[in-house]
C-alpha cells in the first residue's frame, strides 16, 4: 500500500485535485496527534457535557449523537485517511494511516520517528516469523508492537489505527510481497492473522475497547503487483467460487470472526470484473453480512481514484464515490471521497444516510479506542521507556531464531565449533547488510546486528562481499572471496535477494539467484578448505537446486528477512547456541515451474496440463517442500490418543434434503460446535541437544464420487513444543470437522465428506478417522 502517483487527472477536475493534493501533502508533514485524546478534553466547557463525550453511555448512542451534530461538509471531511478537525466540537484532526506489519513502521504519514522515539523494535519480516509455526509467538509480537505503538501515540508520534497485517495467501512464488505474508497455507495464514490481531488489539475485552485497531488486508484475491507489464491497478483476477471460499477468503474470515479485527482493507484489483472496493457482495454481503465485521472497511491507498481513472469503472467520479460507499466502503485512503462525495449527494447519486452509515463505522472504532474519552486513557502509562526495551529486543532475537530454517546439513556439518572453526570467511552481498534484514514496511529499528557482526562474536572473521550488491553483475572480486575461503576453517556465504529484486510494485520473473550469485557460491565452495554454509535472505522462494545437489556445499539455511537481530540469530544457529526449528511456510519450486505458469492464472487446482499451486494442489517436483526444516536433534513422534470415528448429526429441517449416508454433508446442515475432536501426540527428543519441534497434522479426505478436485492433503493443525534432550512431551491438537475436514464444491459450498479421512503426522505416522452421518437428528 503506498501513494501511487498514478492518477491521470482529467481537465475537468484538475484544479480541484491539484488544490487538494497540496492541502493533503501539508497534512502528511505533520504528526497525526499532538497529544492523547482526539476530542472531549475535560477543559473544554463546550463539549465535555455533550452526550458523545459521556463515557458512561453506550458507544452507539454516543456515535449517533456526534453524527447528528455534524454538517454534511464536516462529515465528508471525515471520510478520508487524513480526517479534518471539527474545531467547533473540539475534535482534532486524525491520520488513520499507520503501519505495523512487523513493528511500528513509518511508511504511513501517521507515524514519525525522532525525539523521544528514535526507533522501534523491528521484528523479522512476516514470512520469517511464519516459519516459526508458533501462534503464541505471533501474538506476543503483536502485544509488543501494540505497547510500542501506544507509547508513541501517548507521545504524539503515532495514531492508533494500524493497517496490518497482510493476510493474502502466497499463491505465486514470484510475488514481490511474498515477504509480507505468512505463506501459502490458508490455515497457517488464518492462524497468524488471528494471533497477531489479538496481540495488536489487546485480546478479548469485555468492554469492547481496543488497544489498537488492526486491519486485515488486502481483500481479496490480491497477489500480483507488477509482472511483465500487468499491474495491480488494471488486473482482473478471475477466481472461481471454489477457490475464493477455500483459499483466498479463508484468512479474512478468520480475521473477522475469530480475531475480531477492527478493519478490513479492500484491494486495488478487480475480482471477476468488479473492483473489490465497489463490490457490494464482497463488502456488505460477505464481510458484514456473513462474517459480521464490527469495524470499518478502508480502501487501499488511491484505489478509489484508480477505479475511475485507471479501470474506468464508472462514467464520473461521483458515480465511483457513490458505488464504493453504497457497496460498504467506509474510509478512503486518498482524496476522492473528500473531493467528490458532496456533489454525489447533491445530485442524488448518494444519500446523506449512506454517508452517516460509513461514518458510524469509523467513529465507533475511534470511540472503542478511547479517542473520545478525553484524558481517560487506559494505556496512558506507556512511554519512551516501553519502546526498544531489552525485553522487546530479546523477543525480536527469539523470533528470528525460531524462524530460521535448516534445509541441508550434510554429514552434520552444522553446528560449527568455536574451537575447531576459529577463522570463518564471511562472504556474499548480504553478509554485512542492515536495511535488507528488515524487509519492507519497516520503521527505524533499535539497532542492527549483521551476519558479519554476529559471526564475529564466535570466531575471527575474514570478510569479502564478492559482489557489490545482490544484482551481482561482476565477478571481478570473486578471486578475493576464493582466497578468503581457502584460508579459513569454515566459509559462510550470505546470499539471496533484497528490495531491489522483490517488493511492493515489483514481482520477479525468475526464481534463480540474481546475476552471478550462483557462480560466486560455486567457486567459493570449490575453494573452501572447510565446510561451506549457504545462508539465504529472501522473502519468496529461490531455486537453489545447484546448491542442494553440490556436495561441496555442506549446509543451507534460509533466514528470510530476519529483522534487526537477524545477524545474531543466524550466528547463534550456525554455532549451535540455538537448535534450528523453523519450517518453510511455502513451497520452493524449480525455475521451470514459473516458465510454464503465468502469474495471472488464479486457479489453485491442477488439471489439463496445468500443474496447480501450493502444496495442496501442485503435483510436480520441488526444490524444497512446504513444511521442510531440519534440526540438530532427532525428534520421534507417536500417537498417544485419537478417536477412530466421529458422528455428524443432521439438522432436523435439512435431513430430508441431504443425500444418502456416505456422501457429503453441507456444513450449514449440521451443528459444528459438536464436531470437535482432540489428538494427543508424544514428541521425544532422541538427540543430544535441547530444541523445538513443530507437530504438523495433515488431513487427506476420502475419494469422492462427485470429484470436488480436493487437495491431496491439507494442514489442519500445528503446535510447536520445546523438548529437552532425552525428554518427552505430549502435544494436544484440536480439530473441528466443519472447519478442518470440510471441502468446498465448485459452487463455493463447504461440505463435510463422510467416510475414511486419513490423518498424517509427519511422513510416517498415519491414523484413520471415520466420519459417519448420525441417525439422531438435531432440532433447530
Q: Which residues are marked as active site?
A: 300
Q: What angle do CA 157, 162, 168 make, to 5 degrees?
A: 150
Question: Residue 25: which H helix or E strand, with range?
Answer: helix 14-28
Cα–Cα distance measured from residue 22 to residue 16, given in angstroms and rounded to the nearest whole number: 10
Cα–Cα distance measured from residue 605 to residue 614, given in angstroms and rounded to the nearest whole number: 9
Query: Which residues does residue 677 pair with via DSSP β-bridges, in sequence order?
Result: 735
247 Cβ contact list (under 8 Å, min separation 6): 169, 171, 186, 604
> Phi and psi for 771 in degrees, rounded to 5?
-100, 130
Q: What angle do CA 61, 63, 66 make, to 5 degrees?
A: 110
Cα 545 to chain centroid distance, Å, stands at 28
CB atoms within 10 A of CB 273: 10
Query: Which residues does residue 98 pair with via DSSP β-bridges, in sequence order?
Result: 162
Q: Where are the alpha helices (DSSP H) in 159-261?
A: 186-201, 241-243, 250-257
Q: What grid cell was written down for 514?
A: 540474481
- Per the CB < 8 A criterion, the answer to whether 771 and 754 are in contact is yes
Cα–Cα distance measured from residue 320 to residue 340, given in angstroms and rounded to the nearest whole number: 9
User: Can the peptide bond before residue 252 be classed as cis, meaning omega within 30 degrees of 0?
Assistant: no
- Strands 635-641 and 676-685, sheet pairing: antiparallel
CB atoms within 10 A of CB 115: 10
- Per the CB < 8 A criterion, the answer to whether 578 and 401 are in contact is yes
Cα–Cα distance measured from residue 121 to residue 443, given in angstroms and rounded to the nearest whole number: 8
Cα–Cα distance measured from residue 59 to residue 379, given in angstroms and rounded to the nearest whole number: 19
- DSSP character at residue 384: G
Instruction: Report the SS3 class of residue 641.
Output: strand
3-state helix, strand, coil in the chain (%, to 5): 30, 20, 50
How many alpha carbons fall within 13 Å on the CB side of residue 335?
20
Taking alpha carbons only, the member of 64, 67, 39, 43 closest to residue 53 is 39
- Per the CB < 8 A criterion, the answer to whether 358 and 79 are in contact is yes
Query: Which residues does residue 162 pair with via DSSP β-bridges, in sequence order?
Result: 98
> Phi and psi for 710 in degrees, rounded to 5?
-75, 165
Q: What grid cell was written down for 222?
A: 490480491
670 exposed, middle or buried (CB, 10 Å; 0-12, 13-18, 19+)?
buried
- DSSP character at residue 416: P
- Strands 226-227 and 230-231, sheet pairing: antiparallel
255 Cβ contact list (under 8 Å, min separation 6): 167, 190, 193, 194, 197, 216, 261, 264
Taking alpha carbons only, the member of 125, 197, 689 closest to residue 403 is 125
Amino acid at each position: 500500500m503506498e501513494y501511487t502517483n498514478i492518477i491521470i487527472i482529467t481537465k475537468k477536475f484538475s484544479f480541484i485535485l491539484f488544490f487538494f493534493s497540496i492541502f493533503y501533502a501539508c497534512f502528511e508533514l505533520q504528526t497525526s496527534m499532538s497529544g492523547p485524546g482526539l476530542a472531549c478534553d475535560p477543559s473544554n466547557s463546550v463539549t465535555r457535557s455533550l452526550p458523545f463525550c459521556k463515557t458512561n453511555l453506550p458507544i452507539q448512542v454516543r456515535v449517533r449523537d456526534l453524527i447528528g451534530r455534524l454538517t454534511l461538509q464536516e462529515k465528508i471531511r471525515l471520510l478520508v485517511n487524513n480526517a479534518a478537525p471539527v474545531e467547533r466540537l473540539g475534535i482534532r484532526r486524525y491520520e488513520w494511516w499507520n503501519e505495523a506489519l512487523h513493528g511500528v513502521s513509518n511508511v504511513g504519514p501517521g507515524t514519525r520517528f525522532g525525539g523521544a522515539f528514535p526507533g522501534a523494535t523491528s521484528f523479522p519480516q512476516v514470512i520469517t516469523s511464519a516459519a516459526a509455526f508458533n501462534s503464541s509467538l505471533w501474538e506476543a509480537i503483536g502485544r509488543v508492537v501494540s505497547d510500542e505503538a501506544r507509547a508513541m501515540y501517548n507521545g504524539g508520534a503515532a495514531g492508533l489505527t494500524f493497517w496490518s497485517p497482510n493476510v493474502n495467501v502466497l499463491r505465486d512464488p514470484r510475488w514481490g510481497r511474498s515477504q509480507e505474508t505468512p505463506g501459502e497455507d490458508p490455515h497457517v495464514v488464518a492462524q497468524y492473522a488471528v494471533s497477531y490481531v489479538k496481540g495488536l488489539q489487546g485480546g478479548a475485552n469485555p468492554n469492547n475497547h481496543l488497544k489498537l485497531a488492526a486491519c486485515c488486508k488486502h481483500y481479496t484475491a490480491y497477489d500480483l503487483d507488477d509482472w511483465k507489464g500487468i499491474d495491480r491497478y488494471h488486473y482482473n483476477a478471475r477466481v472461481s467460487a471454489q477457490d475464493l471460499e477455500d483459499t483466498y477468503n479463508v484468512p479474512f474470515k478468520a480475521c473477522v470472526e475469530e480475531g475480531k479485527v477492527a478493519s478490513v482493507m479492500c484491494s486495488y484489483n478487480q475480482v471477476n470484473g468488479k473492483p473489490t472496493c465497489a463490490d457490494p457482495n464482497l463488502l456488505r454481503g460477505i464481510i458484514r453480512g456473513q462474517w459480521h465485521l464490527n469495524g470499518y472497511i478502508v480502501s487501499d491507498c488511491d484505489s478509489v481514484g484508480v477505479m475511475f481513472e485507471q479501470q474506468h469503472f464508472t462514467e464520473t467520479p461521483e458515480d465511483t464515490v457513490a458505488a464504493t460507499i453504497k457497496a460498504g466502503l467506509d474510509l478512503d485512503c486518498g482524496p476522492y471521497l473528500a473531493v467528490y462525495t458532496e456533489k454525489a449527494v447533491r445530485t442524488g447519486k448518494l444519500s446523506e444516510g449512506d454517508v452517516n452509515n460509513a461514518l458510524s463505522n469509523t467513529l465507533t472504532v475511534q470511540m472503542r479506542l478511547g479517542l473520545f474519552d478525553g484524558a481517560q486513557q487506559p494505556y496512558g502509562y506507556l512511554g519512551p521507556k516501553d519502546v526498544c526495551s531489552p525485553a522487546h529486543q530479546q523477543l525480536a532475537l527469539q523470533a528470528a531464531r525460531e524462524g530460521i530454517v535448516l534445509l541441508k546439513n550434510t554429514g552434520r556439518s552444522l553446528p560449527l565449533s568455536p574451537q575447531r572453526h576459529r577463522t570463518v570467511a564471511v562472504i556474499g552481498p548480504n553478509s554485512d547488510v542492515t536495511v535488507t534484514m528488515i524487509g519492507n514496511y519497516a520503521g527505524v529499528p533499535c539497532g542492527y546486528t549483521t551476519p558479519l557482526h554476529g559471526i564475529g562474536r564466535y570466531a575471527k572473521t575474514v570478510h569479502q562481499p564478492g559482489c557489490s550488491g545482490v544484482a551481482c553483475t561482476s565477478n571481478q572480486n570473486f578471486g578475493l572471496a576464493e582466497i578468503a575461503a581457502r584460508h579459513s576453517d569454515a566459509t559462510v556465504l550470505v546470499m539471496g535477494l533484497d528490495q531491489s529484486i522483490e517488493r511492493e510494485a515489483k514481482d520477479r520473473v525468475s526464481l534463480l539467484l540474481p546475476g552471478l550469485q550462483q557462480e560466486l557460491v560455486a567457486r567459493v565452495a570449490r575453494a573452501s578448505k572447510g565446510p561451506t554454509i549457504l545462508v539465504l535472505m529472501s522473502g519468496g522462494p529461490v531455486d537453489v537446486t545447484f546448491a542442494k545437489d553440490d556436495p561441496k556445499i555442506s549446509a543451507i539455511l534460509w533466514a528470510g528477512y530476519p529483522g534487526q537481530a537477524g545477524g545474531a540469530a543466524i550466528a547463534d544457529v550456525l554455532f549451535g547456541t540455538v537448535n534450528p526449528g523453523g519450517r518453510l511456510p511455502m513451497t520452493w519450486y524449480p525455475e521451470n515451474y514459473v516458465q510454464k505458469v503465468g502469474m495471472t492464472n488464479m486457479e489453485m487446482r491442477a488439471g489439463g496440463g496445468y500443474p496447480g499451486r501450493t502444496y495442496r494442489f501442485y503435483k510436480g517436483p520441488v526444490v524444497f517442500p512446504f513444511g521442510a526444516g531440519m534440526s540438530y536433534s532427532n525428534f520421534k513422534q507417536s500417537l498417544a490418543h485419537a478417536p477412530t470415528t466421529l458422528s455428524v448429526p443432521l439438522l432436523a429441517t435439512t435431513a430430508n434434503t441431504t443425500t444418502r449416508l456416505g456422501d457429503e454433508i453441507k456444513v450449514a446442515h449440521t451443528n459444528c460446535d459438536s464436531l470437535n475432536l482432540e489428538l494427543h501426540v508424544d514428541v521425544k527428543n532422541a538427540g543430544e541437544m535441547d530444541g523445538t519441534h513443530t507437530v504438523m497434522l495433515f488431513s487427506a479426505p476420502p475419494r469422492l464420487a462427485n470429484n470436488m478436485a480436493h487437495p491431496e492433503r491439507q494442514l489442519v493443525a500445528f503446535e510447536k513444543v520445546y523438548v529437552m534432550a532425552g525428554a518427552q512431551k505430549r502435544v494436544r491438537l484440536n480439530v473441528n470437522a466443519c472447519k478442518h475436514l470440510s471441502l468446498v464444491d465448485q459452487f463455493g459450498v463447504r461440505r463435510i465428506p463422510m467416510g475414511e479421512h486419513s490423518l498424517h503426522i509427519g511422513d510416517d505416522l498415519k491414523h484413520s478417522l471415520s466420519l459417519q452421518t448420525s441417525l439422531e437428528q438435531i432440532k433447530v
